Amino acid sequence: MLRKLPPITRNFYFIASVVFIFWMLFIDSNDFISQYQLRDKLKSLEAQRNFFRTKIEEVRKDREELLSDDKMLEKFAREKYYMKKETEDIFVIFDGDE
C-alpha cells in the first residue's frame, strides 16, 4: 500500500512538514479560527473606538460652548436638570413611553 504513494509522500521531511502545517493551522492556540475571531473583535473594537472618539469631540465642543456662553449654560441647566429661578414654576410633561 505504501508503494502506491508517490515517493515524495514517503519522505520523512514531507510527513513532518505536513504534520507541522496541520498542527499550526488547526490545533495550535493561534489557528485560523482564532485569528478570524480575533480579527472580527479587533474590527468591532476599532468601530467602538471611533464612535467614542466622535462622542468625546461632541462633548468637548458642547463643554466649550457651555463654559463660554452664560445663556447656553442657563439653557442647559434648565433643560437637563430642570433648574429654575425662584419666581418660576416648572411643569414637566412625560410621555407614557418614558
The single residue listed with the C-alpha cell 488547526 is 26
Amino acid at 26: F
Terminal CA-CA length for the chain: 76
What backbone phi and psi angles, to 5 degrees, belong to 28? Answer: -65, 160
Q: What is the pLDDT of residues 49-94, one digit of tens each?
A: 999 999 999 999 988 988 888 888 888 888 787 777 778 777 777 7
Q: What is the pLDDT of residues 25-45, one digit of tens each?
A: 888 888 888 889 999 999 999
Helices (H), ranges, 1-98: 12-22, 32-68, 70-81
